[in-house]
Every structure is written in structure tokens, then in C-alpha cells.
Amino acid sequence: MSQATQGRLVLLGINHNTAPIEVRERLAIPSTRLADATRSLLHQPGIREGLILSTCNRVELLTLQDDTGEAANTQPQTKADLLRFLHEYFSVPPNDIQPHLYEFREREAVRHLFRVASSLDSMVVGEPQILGQVKESYTIAREVGAVSTHLESLLQRTFTVAKKIRSETQIGSSSVSIASVAVDLARKIFGSLQGKTVLLVGAGKMSELAARHLIHQGAASILVTNRTHSRAEKIAADFASSAVHTEAILFDDLYAQAPRADIVISSTGAPQKIFSPSHGQHFLHARRNRPMFFIDIAVPRDVDPRMNEVEGCFVYDIDDLQQVAAANLADRSREAAAAETIVSREVEKYHERLQSRDAVPAIKALQQQAEELRQAELARSQSKLASLTPEQQAAVDALTRSLTAKLIHPQLVALRRRVEDNTDPQK
Amino acid sequence: MSLLWLRVAVLLYGIAALAVLPAALYDRPRWRHIAIPATIAAVLFHFVSLAEMLSAAHHRLPVDTHETQTLLGLLLALAFLVVYWRYKTVSLGIFILPICFLLGLLPAFHPGQESTTFPILHTGWIFLHVALLLAAYAALLLSLLASLLYLVQERRLKQKSPTLPSLPPLETADQIALKALLFGLPCMTAGLLIGSLIAQATVGISYFRDPKILLAFAMWLVYIAMIYIRRHAGLRGRRAVYLSSFVFFVVLAVWAANQFSDVHRFNAP
């Protein structure tokens, strides 16, 4: 019964685990074309509702399809049918896609969707972007009318599950990129980074990325120094904005200016160390012992590791940052196990809700039929009951109501059980 | 009845002390949602219990060791809640909540029998004297604990420990430590001043020759010196902990001297 009334849920897709980038990029749909693609999917015969999720790591079609016996022969209820849609829409030969495709139905489709939105199926487990991408796909699908009752409730549940996993596990709490690890460490030292000063020594993409992360977290001042002063001026100009004070300082003034900085990001190509422990002591003295954080991204290193022994100086080189990132990644894997348990529980809950919802129309019909019979019998006996007092008539009414309820109770129980059996793939 | 409330409060402190461990060490929000409400409830029950206890004994201030202990526990729990409200960190609860539990445990199950008829104990000034000094002690303990957390966090950062527990950032721990001291200074100054004025009026100059009283003034000087050094030398980390510990032991000595003093003890003016 559930299949006929609710339709069949089918999820088809490719992701970073099943397809190389060469295949994924051919199927990727830019956000500007997502509405059009969703509309096209919805126009396929037999598709009642649909949603397309397209990110750099996956393309997935979530569909609710008609499930009547007649339609089964003519409508795209199978992998091959949706494959044909992909082929027609993207002009990619089916043979190029087929080996990489995966397909999930019903309960497994729900599970997969929960896992994707909760970032358990992501390349970097726990990354937060995927939930936003699923929400964006949902918004677009809703705008074009591709999501209504069934997928609406499924997707709302999906967002709730994803949020629950974020709040009940630590899956997304630790940073796994070098730049974000550096920011996390800075926050462990300084708390808020509001108003903090960052000194960039040398130039490099990673150091600039780390600096941008720090600005994003509230760092208010960026000092830049380079052996080539014009290069320092250019980098400083790149960072300049109304919220950030930037300043290019002469490399010769480095040691005099460094105490101004709370965070020093060093990435020069110098063959020998630029900062020694004695520099650290001098800086700390000038700062009245306020801590300093040195992020040394240079290879060979710019900061003497012994500077870490100076009280108030914290030195992290590229290996240290990578080690923290790797440990955080391992933490995420551990948290993922807890998240999988939540997903399994939520899939079961979702199906229980669906089952009870499936049984509702039949239960209502049975109750209505019984009530009609009761009313008909009462009407037939109306002349014989007319002599009764209103209290006696009310008692008869209550008696027949109670009898009817008791008579149909076994049928109601059987009906619920049958719905459960029909939707349980194990039976 | 007051004992019942105190026992409930102690039980809640115990629950909060256990819940704060996963909340602080593993950043588990669920446990934080147990620890904080449990502490708030414990503070309320504790306050009711204290008020009833003092009212039943017909005096307005703690006069025996147990009552003083329980007031100190209440002040520490309040300090923990204030720190949580201001800095959103529960780490201090790892130390403070068990202390609150222990400070309440003995009075809850073995209440003191001391009583006093000394009339001055019924005045508001002496209550202020006791409450202000206890607030200063609580502030000092808070400062010491924050300095210890600073030390632990600093060590972990230095060791590049990959899995850093959820301790407050160094600057936050430093701010808590310093602000607690700055809060404690006026409390201690006013507490001692009020005590001195009362002593001058009731006992006379001989009161100030008692070693316990001299020790209390020495404590005040040491306290001021500590704040001066911390603020002007930017003392942090290990040396700050050493200094705070030293002052804390001076305070403990002053507290312990209450038991031996001729003129200043729990049952005497």
C-alpha cells in the first residue's frame, strides 16, 4: 500500500569515491543551470518529485517515482531510465557514466541522503559546506515545483538529522586544513582575535591564506615585510580594506617592529633562521610578556624551534600544523562512528513515521465504513427507540459506538501490521 | 528544613561536578546543559538553606566553621556562574564544583553545634566584614585556579599536543585571574577596614597586637603586592601561579589562625 500511495524513492548518483574528476566534471551542473536541470528531471515521465544535488564531489538525482504496475514498464523507474536522462541532458555516453553510478532505493536512499547532508559521505568528513549545498538544491527544486509533500518531509527531516549530528557529535568541531588549524591555535592562545595584529614575513600562498583566515576571525591589523619592499607593499595593498589596517614595513625594521605583532606568519626562502630564542625574549620583554604566536610555514624553517621554550612564545612549523590537522581528522573519523549510529536510528524513525502515515487513509476508511453501518442500523431502529428517554438514547448511542470500536479493533491492528510488513524489505 | 535544602544543594553540586568533566574536557554541550542548570539550582537551594539556617539560629552571619564553609562554597559557585556567563567557559568548574561539593558536604551531614550570644554578631557591619573577606578569599581562589588552567593550557600548546582539551584560551584565563584579584582587593580592604573599626570600638587598641590580626594585615599587603607585580610586570604562566599560590597559603594561614587567636575566632568578636 505504501508504495502505491507514496511512490518509490530512488537516488542515483556519482561521487568522488565512484568516479574520477574527469567524469564528475562532465556531469557537474553549475548553480545557474540547476533550476533548468531540475525542471527537466521533473518532466521525465513517471517522476513525481525530484531534486538534483551537484557539487564538485558529487552529482545525485533524488526522485520520487510513480509505482503503479502499469507504469513500471514505461516509466523511468530503473537505473537505466535515469541514466538515459543524464545522457540526454549532458550528452555524455551512458557507457562513460554507468560504471561509476550508484543507486539507492527507499530506506537506503533515505540513509544515503542523511549521510550526505551530515557530511559523512564527504571527501573531508565533517566539512560544513555540504549541508548548505543540499539546502540550496532544495530551495531551487522547491521554486520550480519539483519538491512537494513526500520529498518536502524527507528533506526537512534530513536537515534536522544533519543539525542533530552537528550538535551531538564533534564531527565538525576540529579543523583539518593547515590555515584553519593555525587560526584555531591562535584562538587557543588569544581567545578572540578581534583587534589582533598579524605580521607576515615573506610571501607565500599559504601564509596569505592563513592571514585571510585570521582577518576573517577579526584580526584588525596586517603588517607585511619582505626583502623586496615593493613586494611587501603590494601584499599589504591586497589586504587593505576598511576593516583592516595594513602596513608594509622595511625588512631592516623587522626586529624593532615584530613586538607589535601578536601573530607572526613567516614564509621566507631564507637559508638560515630569521628568529632565534634571544629575539623571542626581546619581543616578550617589549610586550610585557603578552604571548606571541609564530606560524613558521617556511622550509627551511625561519624560526628556531628552541624559541618555543621561551615562556610566552608559541612556535608551530608546517609539520606541527600538519600533525594537528591529521589528529583532528582522526578525531572526526571517531566521531563519524557516533554519527552513523544517529543516522541509523533516524532512518528507522523516519520509516516508522512513514508507515503510520501510510496506514492512516485505510484506517480512516474502515472507521468511516463502520460508523456508516452503525448510523444505518440506528436509523432502522429509530421507531423502536423513539419511546426511550434522551438519557436512554444516549446510552444506546454510546453502546453501539463502543461495540463498533471493539469489533473493528482487530482489523485496525492487522492493517497496521500489514503496512509494516509491506514496507519492511526484510519481510 | 535548612539541612534538607543544603543536602539537595550538595547533591546538585555533586551532579554538576561530574557533568562538568565531559563538558570541559571534551567540549560536550549536552553535559554543559546539565552542569550549568544543576549549579544554578544548587546555588538557589544553598541560598535558601543558608538563609533558613541563619534565621533559625537568630543571627545574620555565619558564626561557626561549618556556616562559614558553606557561605564560601556559595560564593565560589556564584563566581563560577559569573565566569561562565562572562567568558562562556566551564573549565573552572572542574575545580570549583568539587570544592563547593566538599565545602557543603560536612555542614550538610554534620552541622555545627556552636552558638553565640555575642551581641555584636547581630549587627549588619560584622556581616559585611565576614561576607567581604569571604568574597576576597573566593576571588583569590578563583584567580589561583585560573592561573593553573593557564599553566595547563600553556603546557599543552608548548607540547603541541594534537588533541587539546577544551580549556579557556590563555588570554581568557589570564583575564579571569587578574580580574578576580582586582575584584578581591576592594573586598579585602573594606572587610579589614570594617573589622578594624568594629574592633577599635569594642575591644580597643589591644586587638591590633594579636598575631592573627597582624597576619591579616600582612595578607592585605601581600595581596596588593601581588596585584602590582602581575599588572606591571605582565606576570603570567608559571611565575603567576607561584605568586598566587604563595598568597593563597598566606590566606590559609590567616584562616587557620582564627582557631588559635585569643581575640578573633568564630565564637569571639
Mapping DSSP onto H, E and C, the string for B143-168 reads HHHHHHHHHHHHHHHHHCCCCCCCCC
Query: Is-contact A316 A167, C-beta < 8 A?
Result: no
Question: Would you report the helix, strand and coil content of chain A in percent, each value rounded to 5?
Answer: 60, 15, 25
Top mean-pLDDT range of A35-39, B125-129, B238-242: A35-39
- pLDDT value at residue A111: 95
Cell numbers representing residue A327 in the block: 589528529
- pLDDT value at residue B163: 58
Interchain CB distance below 8 Å, A288 and B233? yes
Pairing of strands A47-54, A58-65: antiparallel
| Chain B partners within 8 Å of A320 (Cβ) | 160
- pLDDT value at residue B218: 85
Q: Which of B162, B170, B233 sits opposite A189 (nearest CB)?
A: B170
**Rounded to whole angstroms, how far apart are CA atoms A72 and A46?**
9
A164 interfaces chain B, CB cutoff of 8 Å: no
In terms of Cα–Cα distance, which of A133, A141, A139, A131 is closest to A162?
A: A131
- pLDDT value at residue A177: 78
| Res A389 pLDDT > 70 | yes
Q: What is the mean pLDDT of residues A362-369?
A: 84
In terms of Cα–Cα distance, which of A348, A354, A347 is closest to A116?
A: A347
**Rounded to whole angstroms, how far apart are CA atoms B61 and B50?**
9
**Rounded to whole angstroms, how far apart are CA atoms A323 and B255?**
48
**Rounded to whole angstroms, how far apart are CA atoms A87 and A350?**
33
| Res A203 pLDDT > 90 | no
Interchain CB distance below 8 Å, B162 and A191? no
In terms of Cα–Cα distance, which of A54, A64, A51, A223 is closest to A140?
A: A51
Helix (H) or strand (E) segment spanning residue A296: strand A292-296
Average pLDDT of chain A to the nearest whole number: 86
CA distance A124 to chain B (A): 18
- pLDDT value at residue A383: 82
Q: Which residue has the higher pLDDT, B38 or B50?
A: B38
Lowest mean pLDDT segment, chosen from A188-197, A396-405, B200-209: B200-209
Helix (H) or strand (E) segment spanning residue A79: helix A79-90
In terms of Cα–Cα distance, which of A288, A324, A343 is closest to A108?
A: A343
Same domain, residue pair B88 and B190: no
Cell numbers representing residue A365 in the block: 476508511
Across the A:B interface, residue pairs with CB atoms under 8 Å apart total: 56
**Rounded to whole angstroms, how far apart are CA atoms B57 and A284?**
56
Helix (H) or strand (E) segment spanning residue A53: strand A47-54
Interchain CB distance below 8 Å, A191 and B168? yes
Residue B164: how many CA atoms within 13 Å on its side-chain side? 28
- Which of B157, B166, B167, B175 to mutate against chain A (most A CBs within 10 Å)? B157
Interchain CB distance below 8 Å, B29 and A327? no
| Res B114 pLDDT > 70 | no
**Rounded to whole angstroms, how far apart are CA atoms A62 and A53?**
8
Same domain, residue pair B251 and B149: yes
Same domain, residue pair B121 and B27: no
CA distance A297 to chain B (A): 16
Same domain, residue pair B83 and B13: yes
Interchain CB distance below 8 Å, A327 and B162? yes
**Rounded to whole angstroms, how far apart are CA atoms A277 and A287?**
15
Interchain CB distance below 8 Å, B162 and A289? no
- Work out the number of other CB atoms within 10 angstroms of the CB of residue A209: 17
- Work out the number of other CB atoms within 10 angstroms of the CB of residue A68: 11
Interchain CB distance below 8 Å, A289 and B233? yes
Top mean-pLDDT range of A76-85, A92-101, B162-171, B256-265: A92-101
Return the biggest CA–CA distance within chain A: 114
Interchain CB distance below 8 Å, A287 and B157? no
Q: Which residue of B has its CA nearest to A332?
A: B163
| Chain B partners within 8 Å of A288 (Cβ) | 233-234
Tens of pLDDT along A157-168? 999 999 999 888
Same domain, residue pair B264 and B236: yes
What domains sit in chain A, N to C, each tagged with a CATH number?
A: 2-172 (3.30.460.30), 178-321 (3.40.50.720), 357-423 (no CATH)
Query: Is-contact B142 B92, C-beta < 8 A?
Result: yes
Residue ending a domain, choose from B54, B79, B111: B111
Q: Which of A191, A316, A331 sits opposite B160 (nearest CB)?
A: A316
Q: What is the mean pLDDT of residues A337-353?
A: 90
A188 interfaces chain B, CB cutoff of 8 Å: yes
Q: Which of B26, B163, B167 sits opposite A327 (nearest CB)?
A: B163
CA distance A131 to chain B (A): 21
**Rounded to whole angstroms, how far apart are CA atoms B189 and B194?**
9
Cell numbers representing residue A319 in the block: 609539520
| Res A4 pLDDT > 50 | no
Query: Is-contact B153 B169, C-beta < 8 A?
Result: yes
| Chain B partners within 8 Å of A173 (Cβ) | 27
Same domain, residue pair B165 and B95: no
- Which of B87, B151, B154, B160 to mutate against chain A (most A CBs within 10 Å)? B160
| Chain B partners within 8 Å of A292 (Cβ) | none
Same domain, residue pair B155 and B88: no
- Work out the number of other CB atoms within 10 angstroms of the CB of residue A74: 11
Residue ending a domain, choose from B111, B128, B151: B111
Query: Is-contact A251 A228, C-beta < 8 A?
Result: no
**Rounded to whole angstroms, how far apart are CA atoms A87 and A82?**
9
* Runs of H (alpha helix) within chain B: 2-25, 29-56, 65-87, 93-109, 124-159, 170-202, 211-233, 237-257
**Rounded to whole angstroms, how far apart are CA atoms B108 and B44?**
15
Same domain, residue pair B134 and B208: yes
| Res B258 pLDDT > 80 | no
**Rounded to whole angstroms, how far apart are CA atoms B112 and B56?**
13
Residue ending a domain, choose from B91, B111, B131: B111
| Res B153 pLDDT > 50 | yes
- Work out the number of other CB atoms within 10 angstroms of the CB of residue A159: 15
- pLDDT value at residue A303: 93
A324 interfaces chain B, CB cutoff of 8 Å: yes
ipTM of the complex, rounded to two decimals? 0.80
Interchain CB distance below 8 Å, B30 and A168? yes
Q: Which residue of B has its CA nearest to A322?
A: B162
Interchain CB distance below 8 Å, A289 and B170? no
| Res A199 pLDDT > 80 | yes
CA distance A6 to chain B (A): 37
Torsion of CA A174, A178, A184, A190, to 10 degrees: 170
CA distance B255 to chain A (A): 33
- pLDDT value at residue A367: 86
| Chain B partners within 8 Å of A190 (Cβ) | 169-171
CA distance A238 to chain B (A): 30
| Res B264 pLDDT > 70 | no
**Rounded to whole angstroms, how far apart are CA atoms A346 and A158?**
9
CA distance A212 to chain B (A): 21
Between helices B29-56 and B2-25, what is the axis angle to 10°?
A: 160
| Res A114 pLDDT > 50 | yes
Interchain CB distance below 8 Å, A288 and B27? no
| Residues of A with a known catalytic role | 56
Q: Which of A191, A308, A312 sits opposite B236 (nearest CB)?
A: A312
Q: Residue B91: which domain range?
A: 1-111
| Res B254 pLDDT > 60 | yes
Tens of pLDDT along A166-193? 888 888 777 777 888 888 899 999 988 9
- Residues of chain B whose beta carbon is less than 8 angstroms from a beta carbon of chain A are 26-27, 29-30, 153, 157-158, 160, 162-164, 167-172, 233-238
Same domain, residue pair B218 and B245: yes
Q: What percent of chain A has pLDDT over 70?
A: 93
Query: Is-contact A247 A276, C-beta < 8 A?
Result: no
Same domain, residue pair B25 and B94: yes
- pLDDT value at residue B45: 93
Tens of pLDDT along A84-111? 888 888 888 888 888 899 999 989 999 9
Helix (H) or strand (E) segment spanning residue A39: helix A31-42
Q: How many domains does chain B have?
A: 2
| Chain A partners within 8 Å of B157 (Cβ) | 185, 188-189, 314
- pLDDT value at residue A3: 40
A246 interfaces chain B, CB cutoff of 8 Å: no
Same domain, residue pair B142 and B220: yes
Same domain, residue pair B184 and B242: yes
pTM, 2 dp: 0.69
